[in-house]
Amino acid sequence: MANLKTTAKKTKAQSMGLHTEVLTGKTQQKFFNPDEAENFFYWGTHNVDFNKRTELDVMDMDCRQANNKIDELMSEGYGTIVIKNPQGKHSLGVGILNKLNLIFEGSLGYFGVGSIDGPIVTVNGRVGWSCAENMMAGKVVIEKNAGSCFGAAIRGGDLICKGSVGARTGIDQKGGSIIVGGDAGAFTGFMMQRGRIVILGDVGINLGDSMYDGTIYVGGKIGSFGSDAVESPMTKNDIEWLTRKLKVAEIGSNVDLSKMTKVVAGKKLWNYDALEPTERKGAI
């Protein structure tokens, strides 16, 4: 059981009644160690061989049937699966927690490849709302456009759309990278908490509204800044990171990165000044 004790010295936040206790000692929280990656095994995952390839036509399947079939193919060791005729169906390719090369020849509906942790996904068409929502790791590449809430609440991985995306891209983002080759709609980066968003084109109104942390880079025009979103100077590190990421994304080779606009949280909304460094971490 965690050891709770009252702090001797009160911070401003504590004196305002926001915090009366601090958490010390060991907790039950377990952290992922990259050195032990091979021993880190999810229930329901499969060891697959990228060289073992198959095709799956989901034209006459509903999303549950299609997802069960993908799981069945992974259990047989198939590491490269090509999905034919997705036809805008919702929730395809969700919950895949192992390495996999998943290719959709067509478009996805809502919640495509949501809650994934590890697969490399290519969608040759368009995706609907909330693509890759809650993604933990992996890489997702959308060749055409994407709907709203693209990459909502992702924790990690690279999410790339070569076309344009709708509103609220990266809403509640907690990590990872979202890279968009075209334009983005209103409220991009709304309440984002960590990670980076790159928009090579224009963005709509209220960019970065109420963002806690994280960074947004914009190549084109900005409709307006959201509450507490502020411009910050581009640094050498920013340009190095952008160069590397855009190369991985295979877009934006002709963009002058030094002219991009960098947007970060002004940190005025969340009473940041009143918090100790450790408390700031806990607030995110």
Stated length of the chain: 284
- In angstroms, give the least distance from the CB of 200 to other proteins: 16
C-alpha dihedral sign at 71, 101, 81, 73 = negative
Nearer to other proteins, 45 or 145 (CB): 145
- In angstroms, give the least distance from the CB of 141 to other proteins: 17
114, 159 in Cβ contact below 8 A?
Answer: no
Nearer to other proteins, 175 or 185 (CB): 185
133, 151 in Cβ contact below 8 A?
Answer: yes
For position 186 contacting other proteins by CB under 8 A, the verdict is: yes
For position 169 contacting other proteins by CB under 8 A, the verdict is: no
For position 185 contacting other proteins by CB under 8 A, the verdict is: yes
The helix (H) or strand (E) run that includes residue 55 is strand 49-57
25, 41 in Cβ contact below 8 A?
Answer: no
For position 109 contacting other proteins by CB under 8 A, the verdict is: yes
Cα–Cα distance measured from residue 164 to residue 283, given in angstroms and rounded to the nearest whole number: 32
Please give the DSSP secondary-structure letter assigned to residue 52.
E
Tokens 């999905």 map to which residue? 83
Using the contact rule CB under 8 A, the part of the chain among 3-11, 71-79, 159-167, 227-235 near other proteins is 159-167
Choose, by CB under 8 A, the member of 126, 162, 174, 196 that binds other proteins: 126
For position 162 contacting other proteins by CB under 8 A, the verdict is: no
Nearer to other proteins, 125 or 156 (CB): 125
For position 168 contacting other proteins by CB under 8 A, the verdict is: yes
User: What Å distances lie between residue 206 and 33, 126, 153, CA to CA?
Assistant: 37, 25, 18
Nearer to other proteins, 110 or 217 (CB): 110
For position 175 contacting other proteins by CB under 8 A, the verdict is: no
For position 128 contacting other proteins by CB under 8 A, the verdict is: yes
187 Ramachandran zone, left/alpha/beta (phi>0; psi -120 to 50): left
Of 166, 112, 167, 168, nearest in space to 140 by CA: 112
- In angstroms, give the least distance from the CB of 103 to other proteins: 14
For position 163 contacting other proteins by CB under 8 A, the verdict is: yes
Query: By rule CB under 8 A, what count of residues binds other proteins?
Result: 32
Per-residue string for binding with other proteins, 129-158, x by CB under 8 A? x--------------xxxxx----------
Distance from the Cα of residue 214 to its chain's centroid: 12
Nearer to other proteins, 84 or 194 (CB): 84
Measured in degrees and rounded to the nearest 5, phi and psi for residue 274 equal: -85, -5
Choose, by CB under 8 A, the member of 79, 119, 138, 166 that binds other proteins: 166
* Percent of the chain that is helix, strand, coil (3-state, to 5): 20, 30, 55
Interface residues toward other proteins, by CB under 8 A: 85, 87-90, 105-107, 109-110, 124-126, 128-129, 144-148, 163-168, 183, 185-187, 204-205
